[in-house]
Every structure is written in C-alpha cells, then in structure tokens.
Amino acid sequence: MDGTAGGRDAEAVSKFVESFAAQLVEAGMQRMPARIFAALLSSDEGVLTSADLGEQLQVSPAAVSGGVRYLADQRMLTREREPGSRRERYRVRGNQWYEAFANRESVLRRWESSLREGVDSLGAETPAGRRMAETLAFFEFVECEIGAMMERWREYREREFGQG
C-alpha cells in the first residue's frame, strides 16, 4: 500500500486493522475473520470485494473465503453481488453488532435448554445439579438483560443516528 488512500494514511489504517483484529482474536474470534472484519469496518464504504480483502490483507482467496463464510454465519457481514457482475462483495453495516448479539440470543436459548436437561438428569439437589441450576439462572438472567438492552440500544440509535 502506498502512503495515503482516500486521504488516509494506509500504514495507519493497516496498523489499526491488525491491532483491532488482535483484540478480537484475544476475545475468541478466529484470526482471519477478525482481520477481515476489521478491514471492512475501517473501509469508508464498509464494502470490499474478495480481491480487495486479499490485496489489503496480503492473503489468498481461500483464506478470504473461509473468513467471510465464518463472518456471514455470525451475521457480522452480508454478501451482495457487485452490480453488473458475478463478483461478490462483503458489507458491514452500522448495526452489525446488534445483529451479532441478536444471533447470540438463540445460542443462549440452546444452552439454557441443555442446562435444564442437565439439572433434570443430575438432580437439582446434587452439588453438580445446583451448579448447573445456577449456571442456567445466569444465562436466563443474561438473556433477559440482553433483550432489554437491545431495546434501549434501538431507542438510543434512533436518537443519535436517526436509524430505526
């Protein structure tokens, strides 16, 4: 990359991408999806093609493909066709965090279901059953709080950014 791209210092952008990606990896995300997400998030339009990503991140098309598939599954990006082309491009939106969290709610519900089975199987009065019941109560609490928090976020977003 040369000195500036779109009025920005390409080296500084690259440094941000790698730094933010490292934080996402530390939080549990796989390295390539983290790098792709950070690159998309830092792009002015929030849209890049596979070729753009490969060039910016200096990775193979296969690496981009796998990372994009993971991010799409997590609802952290969307795929769309480039107008008049068969090429896909990938987009992050302002509400990608909302979508990712909303996706997590279904995961929490599945965990809750498994934990209920665990409590029933182990017996609520056994030490393991009590631990599992407390874990279940925690996830039920978190699910309830996430729902309320998401509603507050929608209201805040509407006030601050004018988007519903």
**Dihedral angle of Cα 6, 18, 72, 81, to the nearest 10 degrees:** 30
Pairing of strands 8-9, 4-5: antiparallel
Query: What is the value of pTM for the model shown?
Result: 0.72
Question: Per this entry, what is the length of the chain?
Answer: 164
> Which residue is associated with the tokens 């002015």?
44
Phi, psi of 6 (to 5 degrees): 60, 35
Query: 124-153 b/e with 16+ CB inside 10 Å = b?
Result: eeeeebeebbeebeebeebbeebeeeeeee
| 4-91: CATH number | 1.10.10.10
Continuous segment of H or E residues that includes residue 5: strand 4-5
The predicted pLDDT at position 5 comes to 52
User: How many Å apart are CA 54 and CA 29, to the nearest integer?
Assistant: 19
**CA gap 77, 91 in Å, rounded:** 5
What is the DSSP track for 31-90?
Answer: HHHHHHHHHHHHSSSSEEEHHHHHHHHT--HHHHHHHHHHHHHTTS-EEEEPTTSS-EEE
> Could you tell me the mean pLDDT of each successive run of 10 residues in the chain, 164 residues long?
60 94 94 96 92 95 95 89 85 78 79 94 95 95 88 91 74
- Per-residue DSSP letter, 4: E
Domain ranges of the chain: 4-91, 96-161
